[in-house]
A and B are shown apart, each in its own frame.
Chain A
Amino acid sequence: MRDVDLTSAAMAKLTGTTELLDREWAPCRNACPVHADVRAYLEAAAAGDFVAAAEIIRRDIPFASICGRICHHPCEQNCRRADVEGAVAIREVKRFVVEGLGASAPVHKAILQNKAAVAIVGAGPAGLAAALDLAKLGYRPTVFEKFPVAGGIPRTAIPKYRLPADVVKQDVDWIAAHGVTIVTGVEIGKDKTIADLQKQFAAVLVTTGLAKSRTLPLPGADHPRVLPVLTFLEAVAFDQPLDIGKNVLVIGGGNVAVDAARSAVRLGARVQMMMLEDEQEMPAWWWEQHEAKDEGVTFIHRRGPVEIVVKGGKITGLKHRKVTRVFDEAKKFSPTYDDADQAVAACDAVILAIGQMPDLGFLAGCDVKPDANGRVLFGINKATHETAVAGVFAAGEIVTPPGSAVEACASGQRAAKAIDMFLSGKPIVLNDATPPYIGTIDAQTADKLIRCDRNPTPTEPADVRAKNWNEFEHTFPEPTALAEARRCMSCGSGAEVVVDKCAACQTCFRVCPFDIPKVTDVARIDSALCQACGLCMAACPANAIVPKGYEPHALRDRVKSAVGKLPAGKKVVAFINGFHADAASWTGKADPAPAGVAEIYLSSISRLGPAEILAAIEAGATGVLVVTEPAGADRYPTTMRKAHAYVTRVRTMLKEIGLNPDRAQLAVRTAANRAVVVAAERDCMNSLIR
């Protein structure tokens, strides 16, 4: 719980800033390697504003299309909804949003791109992310790529059933449009050297990643049907002919091994995966394991390769032995074997997918030398991305442990900051601290939330998808994307209490469906638990509760402006609970509302109190129509009952001053049906005299 005690005086000073009312980060954002504002883009998507959502996504995620397909989504792993009934399908919503905008994603170029030229070696996620940020800062980045196309591993090794080439191209083109020059087919260390680049560019960033497959010195490993995994996956990516036989054995239990296995299945082979680890130990994501098994891949756990058995020039099998342990007591990789337990698994091709390593070819002809030990190469200072040679930086998987595309992007973005500091003559100091973020949801609060199950990703049946290279997962249809975005609980958006106004009256506690406010000297609302429904704000007799992340008077201003735009004559403001509304209705692109009706869509009408309804009438509305979902169909349990009570209250208040009570009306209808909403608006309009 953040320790913010607001006062009226502090509130009064907030003009032009929302500092005290800034929402804390939700765990999804904190967990995202590039710290994408997940909550904000889900909220925009939930309101049907997919363009705004895409803008928010692209602000932090350079590979938005790619991440919409293949991101390992730590946001979802950390989604607080996981403790309710299932994480929000954040990646699928992102995929829907980004795909909808397609190639027309807006490009925000630097006004002046006249700063130093920077060379980047490798057009993968790290390199292109760095290039994009440098271009946005006004630098002139040129990215050199040894392959004939840019995109790195996502283009050259991730199979197209997971990530089609045109999806990668969309992100690459979008990055290039920011003023990033991409030169393909040029290999540094062969066609040019780093020294050459240093002469032409003010700084060089090496992001060559892990471009080489690790191999095993097994007897028989030199057979042409023993394929290093990247060689295999690259051939698949570039539609090159492959000779893998009918019975493939993949050695390895990581995600790349699974990619290889599932690709081999699509080439018509019977595929087994053999790995040292058991089911729990194997590093591949659990969902990848399931998908592979569904496609017919067999897993052989806890066996280590001994020899590739070659008879008559042909591979006939793989001799393997029992693994007695994979990790030692210190959890360090240190396998031991039982040589007494050996067997041969029949196969006619072997793919070695036991990991990747850097290809140090780029070092040829330059002063940068590799270190002797393991992964930390040529003296990289991980804190600053500097190598032993001034002006030469490194980022991505040659610096970090092996990871996902989004992690490489984060490393590239960090390196771009370092290079900017270096080229500005400043000391390189990178602060990786993130703002405070809220923790997990507690069980009592989770119990009180309305259950709303996660929508499954549309997936091709295993027997169909295993026979082709088409994408095996499909984009959500719009209603599903909306429903899923609306499952987001906007964590961290809770209410804040203005302490000098609070009378400790207990009203907030009494109206809260989740029992969150704790009233002692004043009310305190734990933002880690508050569901931001706004029922307490609408009810607080002291006006002491303010929402975080919103302008306190934003709704009234919006209503005023909407009423002002209506033609002379009868005017109706319709407050519509948008929880089930379609995007076109919410964004005003559907059948128009009847003449004279201004529609105000809200994520829930729980924040709407009598004051807001009366304010709309004061602003010039002849009538106000509140369209609420039937009881239980809103995201909060008591919305409909409260809406009914508040509209009734306003009707009494209107009657007291001699006005027609029908100027405030309630319609309990689902906004999912536009025709029904429009009919309610027409009824309201027709019922008003004048």
Chain B
Amino acid sequence: MIVADRKPMEEILAMLAPYKRVLVLACGGCVTVCVSGGEKQADLLASQLKLAAAAAGRADVQFDVDCITRQCDREFAAMLKKPLDQYDAVLSIACGVGVGFMSELAPQATVLPGLNTTSYDASTAKGVWQEYCGGCGDCLLAETGGICPIVRCSKGLTNGTCGGTKTGKCEVSKDMDCGWYLIFKKLQAAGKLELYTKVRPAKKWSKDRNGKGARRLTHKELMETEEFSK
């Protein structure tokens, strides 16, 4: 699931300063699950914004709340209570996908991000989400015991460990586990150390986002047209 975290309040307040009629737009998808951008968080944020405006003596501002099932699907956008361009600004508290897609669907609207999108996470304990995937476009997990070196190695190495590993910790910080040490221990326990010693060729970073435009997933059988812009 995509995880995002609320932007610092001063940044939000500065972003919204020029606007009077603002919609706080929640998303019922991943950001609801990670308790950052669902309807309840939109209510709380709107409450804060109203109180901040009142404290600043701004009686002319208005904050509405709406929520759609997912901000990353155009069909759900049709369920908005009001068109987005009827607001001076829309503070989307979806992940960056939602912010971008909403602003594409409503080109006249000013859609602003309320969250910083961080990672692809799993919920590891009550109230805790942790990154498990780096989204590199060329998955290595079959060879690394399910531990993502792109996420867990501070250098994103595909052949580790490097010389900076020390008693299982990374040279970057003594509080940080060495990702490749974790991979080593996991493969050792599984009796698959040959995967550890295997030398992988240089990673195809072209499958990441460098210089190729937006990455795109296509399922031809679900498509009606193959024509789309880059």
- State the A residues within 8 Å of B (CB): 500-501, 503-507, 510, 540-543, 609-611, 614-615, 617-618, 653-654, 656-659
| Shortest Cβ-Cβ A-B pairs, 9 listed | A541-B38, A657-B52, A656-B9, A505-B33, A503-B32, A614-B47, A543-B39, A541-B35, A510-B126
**Given that A503-B29, A656-B9, A658-B55 are known contacts, is A541 also in contact with B39, CB under 8 Å in the complex?**
yes
Give the distance to chain B from A588, nearest Cβ to Cβ, in Å: 28
User: What's the Cα separation between A510 and B55 when bound, in Å?
Assistant: 36
- Of B34, B40, B47, B127, the residue contacting A618 (CB under 8 A) is B47
Taken residue by residue from 32 to 73, chain B's Cβ proximity to chain A (1 for < 8 Å, 0 otherwise) reads as: 111100111101100111111001000000000001010000
Known: A656-B48, A657-B13, A657-B52. A503 touches B33 (CB 8 A): yes
Q: Could you tell me which residues of chain B, from 1 to 51, have a CB within 8 Å of some CB in chain A?
A: 9, 13, 28-29, 32-35, 38-41, 43-44, 47-51
Which among A506, A540, A543 has the highest number of chain B CB atoms within 10 Å? A543
Q: Are A659 and B33 in contact (CB under 8 A)?
A: no
Known pairs A503-B33, A506-B123, A614-B44; A542 contacts B38 (CB<8 A): yes
Q: How large is the interface on B (under 10, 10 to 19, 20 to 34, 35 or more residues)?
A: 20 to 34
In the complex, A609 Cα to B39 Cα: how many Å? 14
Q: Is the CB of B43 within 8 A of A543?
A: yes
Distance (Å) between the CB of A611 and the closest chain B CB?
Answer: 5
Q: Given that A541-B38, A541-B41 are contacting pairs, would A657 and B9 also be in contact in the complex, using a CB cutoff of 8 Å?
A: yes
Shortest distance from the beta carbon of A513 to any chain B beta carbon, whole Å: 13
Q: Is the CB of B48 within 8 A of A653?
A: yes
Give the residue of B40, B44, B47 whose beta carbon is less than 8 angstroms from that of A542.
B40
Bound CA–CA A617/B48 (angstroms)? 10
Residue of B nearest to A538 (CB): B40
19 more contacts with CB within 8 A, not counting A504-B33, A507-B35, are A500-B69, A501-B28, A503-B29, A503-B33, A510-B127, A542-B28, A542-B38, A542-B40, A543-B38, A609-B40, A610-B44, A611-B43, A617-B51, A656-B9, A657-B9, A657-B49, A657-B52, A659-B51, A659-B52
**Cβ-Cβ contact count across A and B, 8 Å cutoff:** 70
Scan B177-194; emit 1 where CB is below 8 A from any A CB, else 0.
000000000000000000
A3 to B29, CA, bound (A): 25
B40: chain A residues at CB < 8 Å are 540-543, 609, 611
A614 to B51, CA, bound (A): 9
15 residue pairs from A and B, CB less than 8 Å apart: A503-B33, A505-B32, A505-B33, A507-B35, A541-B41, A542-B32, A542-B38, A543-B40, A617-B51, A618-B51, A657-B9, A657-B13, A657-B48, A657-B49, A659-B55
Produce 1/0 per residue, B122-147, CB < 8 A to A.
Answer: 01001100000000000000000000
Name the A residues within 8 Å of B33 (CB-CB): 503-505, 541
Q: Which residue of A lies closest to B39 (CB)?
A: A543
In the assembled complex, which residues on chain A have CB atoms less than 8 Å from the CB atom of B44? 610-611, 614, 653
- Chain A residues in 8 Å Cβ range of B51: 614, 617-618, 654, 657, 659
CB distance from B121 to the nearest CB of A (A): 13
Taking the nearest CB of chain A, how far is it from the CB of B34, in angstroms? Answer: 8
Alpha-carbon separation in the docked complex, A618 to B47 (Å):
7
Collect the chain B residues with CB atoms within 8 Å of residue A500's CB: 69
Give A315 to B55 CA distance when docked, in angstroms.
95
Which residues on the A side are within 8 Å of B126 (C-beta)? 510
Q: Give every chain B residue within 8 A of A541 (Cβ-Cβ).
A: 32-33, 35, 38-41
CA distance A51 to B126 in the complex (A): 44
List chain A residues, Cβ under 8 A from B127. Answer: 510
| A503/B28 contact (C-beta < 8 A), A540-B40, A610-B44, A653-B48 known | yes
Query: Which residues of B have CB within 8 Å of A617?
Result: 47, 51
> Could you say which residues of chain A place their CB within 8 Å of the CB of B47?
611, 614-615, 617-618
Cβ of A618: which chain B residues have Cβ within 8 Å of it? 47, 50-51
- Complex alpha-carbon distance, A543 and B38, angstroms: 8
User: How many Å from the CB of B55 to the closest CB on chain A?
Assistant: 6
- What residue of chain B has the Cβ atom nearest to residue A653's Cβ? B48
User: Known interface pairs A503-B29, A542-B32. Does A614 touch B39 (Cβ–Cβ under 8 Å)?
Assistant: no
- How far does the alpha carbon of A542 sit from the alpha carbon of B52 in the complex, in Å? 24
In Å, the complex CA distance between A504 and B123 comes to 13
C-alpha spacing A657/B44, complex, angstroms: 12
Complexed CA–CA distance, A659 and B13 (Å): 14
A503 interface neighbour in B13, B38, B48, B123, Cβ under 8 Å:
B38
Task: For the complex, give the distance between the alpha carbons of A395 and B39 in Å.
Answer: 57
A611–B33 Cα distance when bound, in Å, is: 18
For residue A314, give the distance in angstroms from its CB to the closest CB of chain B.
Answer: 82
CB-CB < 8 A to A659: which residues of B?
51-52, 55
Q: Give, as a whole number of angstroms, the nearest-CB distance from A621 to chain B.
A: 11
For A510, list chain B residues within 8 Å (CB). 126-127
Q: How far is A506 from B38 in the complex, measured between Cα atoms in Å?
A: 14
Of A504, A506, A542, which is within 8 A of B39 by CB? A542
What CA separation (Å) do A618 and B51 show in the bound complex? 6
For B127, the closest partner residue in chain A by CB is: A510
* Residues in chain A near residue B48, CB distance under 8 A: 614, 653, 656-657
Give every chain A residue within 8 A of B55 (Cβ-Cβ). Answer: 657-659
* Most B CB within 10 A of own CB, among A500, A505, A610: A505
Most buried by A among B13, B28, B123, B126: B28
- Residue in B closest to A663 when the chains form the complex, CB atoms: B51
In the complex formed, the residue of A with least CB distance to B50 is A618
Chain A CB count within 10 A is highest, among B40, B41, B51, for B40
Contact residues in A for B9 (Cβ distance below 8 Å): 656-657
- A647 CB, nearest partner CB in chain B, Å: 14
Contacts of B50 in A (CB 8 A): 618
* A500 to B28 Cα, complex, angstroms: 9
